[in-house]
A and B are shown apart, each in its own frame.
Chain A
Amino acid sequence: MQFMALIYADETRWDALSDDERQEIYGRYRALSDDAQKAGVMAGGDELGPTRDATTVRVRGDETLVTDGPYAELKEALGGYFLFECDSLDDALDWAARIPAAAHGAVEVRPVHVDPAEQQP
């Protein structure tokens, strides 16, 4: 089954890093990605742009309300995700713990919903 590992980290920490430091971190993400690929658990992933580039849309009645910024202003913001194909939640948690941001931020692991109706052949 698939699990989404949502990566929450302090953006100001990233903003403060030098280019070399960022490249080092990207290298660690690539290494994890390669390991997950080799283990056959890598099902996808993306890095999101910073929350200062976020736009939030709501529809209330006939009106579309558009605001700048993320849905929620959190100290640690969603910055990206991995999609892991694992046999169990525990395996997914092991992979999530290897995400570099787990050491200073937090990684939320959530099963991807499977609609029972869609499992029918």
Chain B
Amino acid sequence: MKYALLIYGDEAGWSELSEEEQAKLRADVMPRWNALFEELGKADPNVGGKELDHGRTAKVVRVVGGERIVTDGPFAETKEVLGGVFLIELPDLDEAIRLAALIPVAETGSIEIRPVQSAGSG
């Protein structure tokens, strides 16, 4: 079964940091991410993942009466914002839960696990 691990984190604190501070924090937490990447790669060598830019870069598109309407996003005004996703083939939900708990953001935010219906670009 393919799973999407949706990573929701609180961006408020992060965006107040300077670029230098963000770089330092990234460097500090990087070994844990690298350990995670290794663990994910062991579970599925074809694991995929994307990190999204900050929520304030988001735009929301709707088509109303044939017209394209674009507003500033993100779509959901939640405290924690979707910041990235892993896509991984795993034997069961228990394994997905174990790996989700290793994502550093799980300690401050939330990881939502969703089964993927269709693989690839279909």
Interface residues of A (CB under 8 A from B): 2, 4-6, 8, 30, 33, 37, 42, 44-49, 51, 53-60, 64, 66, 70-72, 74, 76, 78, 80-81, 83, 89, 93-94, 96-97, 102-103, 105-113, 115
Contacts and interface: CB of A to CB of B under 8 A. Distances in A.
A51 B57 CA distance: 25
What's the interface size class on B, roughly? 35 or more
Nearest to B4: A48
Given A48-B115, A113-B51, 18 more contacts: A46-B118, A47-B116, A47-B118, A55-B97, A57-B97, A57-B113, A58-B110, A58-B111, A64-B106, A70-B112, A71-B8, A71-B110, A74-B76, A103-B63, A107-B61, A108-B75, A110-B53, A110-B73
Main secondary structure of the interface of A (DSSP, over half): strand
B78 interface: yes
Nearest to A53: B115
Contacts of B119: 46
A49 to B, nearest CB: 4
B122 interface: yes
Contact of A56 (B68, B75, B78, B112): B112
B106 to A, nearest CB: 4
